């Protein structure tokens, strides 16, 4: 299979869907000639023109509001929010409009909207450009939330999101844009709401998504050298959440560590942990542990940012602490 960068896989997914369906168009800040803040849309305006790759003013509430209106009117817009932090400016449009119309009006008003947004830390961008706010979004019935870890999944899941009649927030880790991965040839999609076991193991289940799936795989290699074989489950979609795949793994291993880049308090890890306890309590050999970001605004300092964010070594420490307390 050919290899593509994560960012190029996303671009290819959008280009293929734009060729397939003339209703698909893009709108966002600096996405046309400049190609977006991370160059993900580079070259698309040259192929499809600036009517379908539209630069917008710096006004996230307006951008998303236009996207919602266009979706209700039969188009299939892809909105680019330059940093996930800025999605706070469009929460009214997402929460009170996009997420509600399909429910309120049924088939009269599907909302086939995709909001793409880079999230997370690791680049020393500081408190207002490094957040992971997925937990805000999964709390809203009517929104789907996707956060792929691999290039192939990014492409297949984005194509599914574009074809979905519901609003989807597509979360992309900035640090994954430059990571290459094998991509299946031809037109393929990956269903939303299906997690995937990306590493087999029998001693402990590491549950993660986006960049933390990569960190969990690194941790699993370290643990393997120490005689602990970890299974890694990549959630891929956060809403709807595939608890069945997670539960099957935890029932096999008897232990679970949930790894998320968002803050510990009220985060994705809290929701996943509670679901694991509900579904798998009788199988657990030790309490479920969480590895997440500290409850602090992310610093610009590289040393302080690394101290605040989860990584492979912190995952290893959590697993070893679990085995030490509950052999």
pLDDT at 1: 85
Active site residue: 8, 17, 29, 129, which one? 129
121, part of any domain: yes
Exposed/middle/buried for 75, CB within 10 Å: 0-12, 13-18, 19+?
Answer: middle
Are 26 and 146 members of one domain?
yes
pLDDT at 212: 98
Domain boundary (134, 149, 182) is at 182
321, part of any domain: yes
Are 16 and 125 members of one domain?
yes
Active site residue: 17, 60, 134, 231, which one? 60
Respond yes or no: is residue 129 known to be catalytic.
yes
Q: Give yes or no for a cis peptide into 240 (omega within 30° of 0).
A: yes
Are 18 and 110 members of one domain?
yes
Whether 184 has a pLDDT exceeding 90, the answer reads yes
Exposed/middle/buried for 37, CB within 10 Å: 0-12, 13-18, 19+?
Answer: middle
Respond yes or no: is residue 60 known to be catalytic.
yes
Range of the structural domain that residue 30 is part of: 3-182
36, part of any domain: yes
Which CATH number goes with the domain that contains 217? 3.40.50.920
Are 173 and 293 members of one domain?
no
Contacts of 6 (CB under 8 A, 6+ apart): 150, 151, 154, 172, 176, 177, 178, 179, 180, 181
305, part of any domain: yes
Are 173 and 203 members of one domain?
no
Whether 84 has a pLDDT exceeding 90, the answer reads yes
8 A C-beta contact, residue 140 and residue 99:
yes
Number of structural domains found in the chain: 2
User: Which string of b and e fits 20-34 if b means at least 16 CB within 10 Å?
Assistant: eeebbbbbbbebbee
Whether 46 has a pLDDT exceeding 90, the answer reads yes
8 A C-beta contact, residue 289 and residue 114:
no
Are 208 and 117 members of one domain?
no
Residue 37 and residue 181: Cα distance in Å, rounded?
A: 22
Are 304 and 234 members of one domain?
yes
191, part of any domain: no
Are 86 and 231 members of one domain?
no
Domain boundary (141, 156, 182) is at 182
pLDDT tens column, 142-157: 999 999 999 999 999 9
Are 227 and 160 members of one domain?
no
Average pLDDT for the chain: 97
User: Which string of b and e fits 127-142 if b means at least 16 CB within 10 Å?
Assistant: eebbbbbbbbbbebeb
219, part of any domain: yes
Which CATH number goes with the domain that contains 113? 3.40.50.970
Mean pLDDT of 98-115: 95
Provide the pLDDT confidence category of residue 165 given band limits of 50, 70 and 90: very high
How much of the chain exceeds pLDDT 90, in percent?
98
Whether 106 has a pLDDT exceeding 90, the answer reads no
190, part of any domain: no
Task: Give the C-alpha distances (Å, rounded to integers) separating 35 from 45, 83, 193, 306.
Answer: 8, 15, 30, 29
Residue 151 and residue 278: Cα distance in Å, rounded?
A: 32
187, part of any domain: no
pLDDT tens column, 211-224: 999 999 999 999 99
Are 101 and 214 members of one domain?
no
pLDDT at 73: 96
Are 167 and 19 members of one domain?
yes
Are 227 and 272 members of one domain?
yes
pLDDT at 190: 98
pLDDT tens column, 227-256: 999 999 999 999 999 999 999 999 999 999
Domain boundary (182, 206, 226) is at 182
Mean pLDDT of 96-104: 96
Task: Give the C-alpha distances (Å, rounded to integers) separating 265 from 103, 231, 286, 292, 309.
Answer: 30, 25, 21, 9, 14
């Amino acid at each position: 299979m050919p290899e593509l960068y994560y960012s190029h896989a996303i671009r290819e997914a959008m280009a293929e869907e734009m060729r397939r369906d003339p209703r698909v168009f893009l709108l966002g800040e600096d996405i046309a000639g400049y190609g977006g803040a991370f160059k993900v849309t580079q070259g698309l305006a040259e192929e499809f023109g600036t009517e379908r790759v539209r630069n917008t003013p710096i006004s996230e509430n307006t951008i998303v509001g236009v996207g919602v209106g266009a979706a209700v009117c039969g188009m299939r817009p892809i909105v680019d929010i330059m940093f996930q932090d800025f999605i706070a400016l469009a929460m009214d449009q997402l929460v009170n409009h996009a997420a509600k119309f399909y429910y309120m009006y049924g088939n009269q008003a599907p909302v086939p909207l995709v909001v793409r947004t880079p999230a997370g830390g690791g680049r020393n961008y500081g408190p207002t450009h490094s957040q992971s706010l997925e937990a805000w979004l999964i709390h809203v019935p009517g929104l789907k939330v996707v956060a792929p870890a691999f290039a192939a999944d990014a492409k297949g899941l984005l194509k599914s999101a574009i074809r979905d009649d519901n609003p989807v927030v597509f979360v992309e880790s900035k640090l994954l844009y430059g990571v290459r991965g094998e991509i299946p040839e031809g037109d393929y999609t990956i269903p939303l709401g299906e997690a995937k076991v990306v590493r087999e193991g029998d001693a402990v289940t590491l549950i993660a998504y986006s960049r933390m799936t990569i960190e969990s795989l690194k941790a699993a290699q370290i643990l393997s050298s120490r005689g602990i074989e970890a299974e890694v489950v990549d959630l891929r979609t956060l809403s709807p959440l595939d608890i069945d795949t997670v539960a099957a793994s935890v029932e096999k291993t008897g232990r679970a560590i949930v790894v998320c880049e968002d803050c510990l308090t009220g985060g994705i890890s809290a929701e996943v942990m509670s679901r694991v306890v509900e579904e798998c309590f009788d199988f657990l050999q030790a309490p479920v542990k969480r590895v997440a970001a500290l409850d602090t605004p992310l610093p610009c300092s590289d040393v302080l940012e690394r101290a605040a964010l989860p990584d492979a070594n912190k995952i290893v420490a959590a697993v070893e602490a679990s085995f030490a307390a509950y052999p």
